[in-house]
């Protein structure tokens, strides 16, 4: 059995001991740590417990964690910030945080499940999230990783920000000076370039989050075959897709575009200002528009644009060749991740290593089923244009059978258990890979001694879903068993790719 094994979301050691919390069960994982669902018997409530294993027992990281948690505690009364119930450090030296268990999931989940939000709902969510960010900034706290996966939905449909400062904490513990942790699809260009995050960086993240909510996908989702450097270059030099082509009314599209300006000075200077701009939109401004097709050609690379491209290329070269950037995804996109820290919701996410995030519209109910498969937050954006050239038609691949879905799971873990991680990584969807860059994927699985599928998985060919039981042995020889659910997508060539993963 190889010492190099892995899976989309791997095994974890036995649950930690958290005072006052019982029956801890894994509900999510990511590059930052593990999220558990637990129960506080004294208060009769379920809670989410986030254990930041990526920070380890580093003394500086623990001190930073304590400062961040203290700041979060001061913000806990804000209706659009997830409350912090308690915090501490486990016996093994890992920081943990006890938060409300949010069964509604995240905005990421909501978009993946039901498609884009309508303009009025998106503006409402944006206004509320901006209010939470403004309160945090007033208290001297930056978020640093605003994305759909970090916007949870309360049982009353209220959007709430979570995971304040976690990227900063992990940087302090695990990366070198000049390194960057961010979710590429939602990170501000200046952050990707190595500059210090500011409130304007959080405003950009909110703009990118609203773009995803309105378009149904990350504004800078990874594209098929696109290199890491090329994707960063796109974020730093290219505008996001025109929201008007998705039927977004021009007034709302303009607010989002301004928030995503490349130059921080061109954005709303505060989250409060961003919220005011969204709140000022009238019902007429938010009336859904017919999708339009942009006809204006892209401007030629003039002096300023050429300079931007050269600067971006230089930054990307430094990042890639010097190896000073570490990327954390989301339960994405989110392309975030994200690997972004796992959401404190119980929903499956492909952002952590699987990011799914749920948000609600004007009603707390999130049970509506999409009439057609929603676009992934991190799938490449495609546009169709009319052309006079002849085109060829390729027959669509046949629908997979239950047996093929079961084989896809067992074949994946056979590659993982053999240590053939590059080949197993190729069996993850582009969206999943965008949320889980290969270095983090590899590092995680190198800490797992073995993994196997126990028994015969149960497959649902109609939903492209597989339920399986996995047995893991971690690097210290400790076994664990986990019941999981896989969601698949079918590539154009017929291959089955893992798109989501979550504990059952």
Q: Report the binding-site residues for ATP.
A: 50
Rounded CA separation 471/485 (Å): 14
Query: Sheet containing 95-100: which strands, arranged edge to edge?
Result: 22-29, 34-40, 45-51, 95-100, 86-89
Q: Where are the alpha helices (DSSP H) in 139-287?
A: 166-174, 189-192, 199-215, 228-237, 250-259, 271-279
Q: DSSP characters for 113-158?
A: HH-PPPHHHHHHHHHHHHHHHHHHHHTT---S--SGGGEEE-TTS-
Query: For strand 22-29 and strand 479-490, is the pairing parallel, antiparallel, or unpaired?
Result: unpaired
Instruction: Give 365's contacts (C-beta < 8 A, 6+ positions apart).
Output: none
Among 241, 239, 240, 232, which residue's Cα sits nearest to residue 312?
A: 232
Among 459, 427, 437, 286, which residue's Cα sits nearest to residue 362?
A: 286
What is residue 180's DSSP assignment?
-
Rounded CA separation 502/328 (Å): 18
Rounded CA separation 245/211 (Å): 12
- Choose the catalytic residue: 145, 163, 333, 499: 145
Angle between helices 271-279 and 199-215 (to 10 degrees): 40
What's the Cα-to-Cα distance from 315 to each of 325, 338, 369, rounded to whole Å? 11, 21, 43
What's the Cα-to-Cα distance from 357 to each of 6, 108, 201, 389, rounded to whole Å? 24, 3, 22, 41
Q: Tokens for 398, please give them.
A: 């046949």
Rounded CA separation 20/281 (Å): 46
Rounded CA separation 248/219 (Å): 14
Among 341, 345, 344, which residue's Cα sits nearest to residue 328?
A: 341
Among 360, 356, 361, which residue's Cα sits nearest to residue 343?
A: 356
* Largest Cα–Cα separation, the chain: 70
Q: How far is CA 486 from the centre of its chain?
A: 17
Q: Tokens for 168, please give them.
A: 């900063």
Residues annotated within a binding site: 50
Which H or E element spans position 404?
Answer: helix 402-417
* Residue 266 among the catalytic residues: no
Among 200, 346, 169, which residue's Cα sits nearest to residue 267?
A: 200
φ, ψ (nearest 5 deg) of residue 348? -65, 140
Q: Which residues are catalytic?
A: 145
């Amino acid at each position: 059995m190889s010492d190099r094994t892995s899976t989309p979301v791997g095994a974890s050691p036995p649950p930690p001991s958290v005072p006052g919390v019982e029956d801890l069960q894994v509900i999510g994982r990511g590059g930052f740590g593990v999220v558990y669902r637990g129960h506080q018997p004294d208060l009769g409530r379920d809670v989410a417990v986030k254990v930041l294993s990526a920070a380890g027992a580093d003394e500086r990281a623990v001190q930073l964690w304590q400062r961040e948690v203290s700041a979060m505690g001061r913000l806990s009364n804000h209706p659009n910030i997830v409350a912090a119930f308690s915090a501490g450090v486990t016996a093994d030296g890992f920081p943990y945080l006890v938060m409300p268990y949010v069964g509604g999931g995240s905005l990421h989940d909501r978009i993946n499940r039901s498609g884009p939000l309508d303009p009025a709902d998106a503006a409402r969510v944006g206004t509320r999230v901006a209010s939470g960010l403004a309160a945090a900034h007033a208290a001297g706290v930056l978020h640093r990783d605003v994305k759909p996966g970090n916007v949870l939905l309360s049982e009353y449909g209220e959007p709430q920000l979570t995971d304040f400062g976690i990227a900063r904490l992990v940087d302090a513990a695990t990366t070198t000076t000049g390194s960057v942790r961010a979710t590429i699809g939602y990170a501000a260009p200046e952050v990707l370039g190595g500059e210090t995050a500011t409130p304007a960086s959080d405003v950009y993240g909110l703009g990118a989050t609203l773009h995803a909510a309105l378009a149904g996908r990350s504004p800078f989702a990874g594209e098929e075959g696109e290199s890491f450097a090329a994707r960063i270059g796109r974020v730093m030099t290219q505008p996001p897709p025109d929201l008007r082509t998705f039927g977004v009314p021009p007034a709302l599209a303009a607010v989002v575009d301004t928030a995503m300006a490349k130059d921080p000075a061109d954005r709303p200077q505060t989250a409060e200002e961003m919220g005011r701009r969204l709140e000022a939109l009238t019902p007429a401004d938010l009336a859904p528009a017919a999708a339009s097709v942009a006809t204006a050609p892209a401007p030629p690379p003039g002096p300023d644009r050429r300079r931007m491209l050269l600067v971006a290329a230089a930054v990307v070269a430094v990042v890639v060749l010097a190896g000073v950037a570490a990327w954390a995804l989301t339960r994405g996109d989110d392309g975030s991740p994200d690997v972004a820290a796992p959401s404190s919701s119980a929903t499956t996410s492909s952002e952590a290593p699987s990011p799914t995030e749920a948000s609600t519209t004007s009603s707390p109910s999130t049970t509506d089923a999409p009439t057609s498969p929603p676009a992934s937050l991190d799938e490449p954006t495609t546009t169709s244009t009319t052309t006079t050239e002849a085109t060829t038609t390729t027959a669509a691949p046949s629908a997979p059978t239950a047996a093929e879905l079961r084989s896809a799971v067992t074949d994946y873990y056979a590659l993982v258990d053999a240590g053939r991680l590059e080949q197993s990584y190729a069996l993850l969807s582009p969206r999943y890979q965008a949320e889980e860059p290969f270095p983090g994927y590899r590092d995680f699985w190198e800490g797992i001694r073995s993994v196997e599928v126990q028994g015969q998985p149960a497959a649902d060919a109609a939903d492209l879903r597989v339920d399986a039981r996995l047995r893991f042995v971690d690097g210290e020889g400790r076994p664990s068993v986990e019941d999981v659910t896989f969601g698949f997508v079918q590539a154009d060539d017929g291959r089955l790719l893992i798109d989501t993963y979550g504990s059952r």
